[in-house]
């Protein structure tokens, strides 16, 4: 892991740190063409060199979420648009079990947009 990425994960308080690291593993295991870079001050994941999603946290609740680039084109009931124009997010509760199948399902929808 690059040093900026390592620093991002290391400076997260628990339980967010473990949650972010678990989400990272789920994302990277979803497809062999997914890569991670440190961009815009956060972990950003690319599919075949094109931005796919990123990890961040809500300003008010401080809970993690996955933001999907071009999420506005993805129809899924668990994705939230809010005030965003292009992106949609998947909120993750760091104190409950992560729904790996849900994350993989939405990742596949995002990857289909890139193919």
Architecture (CATH level 2) of domain 3-114: Alpha-Beta Complex (3.90)
Phi and psi angles of residue 59, each rounded to the nearest 5 degrees, phi first? -65, -35
pLDDT (tens digit per residue) in 19-48: 999 999 999 999 999 999 999 899 999 999
Give the span between the Cα atoms of 69 and 53, in whole angstroms.
5
pLDDT (tens digit per residue) in 70-112: 898 999 999 999 888 889 999 999 999 999 999 999 999 999 9
User: What are the residue ranges spanned by the domains of the chain?
Assistant: 3-114
Residues listed for the chain: 115
């Amino acid at each position: 892991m690059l040093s900026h990425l390592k620093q991002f994960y290391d400076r997260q308080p628990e339980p967010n740190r473990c949650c972010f690291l678990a989400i990272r593993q789920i994302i990277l295991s979803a497809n062999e063409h997914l890569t991670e870079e440190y961009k815009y001050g956060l972990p950003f994941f690319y599919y075949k060199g094109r931005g796919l999603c990123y990890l961040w946290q809500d300003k008010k609740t401080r809970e993690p979420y996955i933001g999907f680039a071009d999420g506005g084109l993805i129809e899924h009931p668990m994705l939230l648009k809010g005030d965003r124009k292009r992106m949609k997010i998947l909120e993750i509760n760091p104190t409950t079990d992560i729904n790996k199948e849900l994350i993989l399902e939405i990742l596949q929808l995002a990857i289909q947009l890139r193919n």
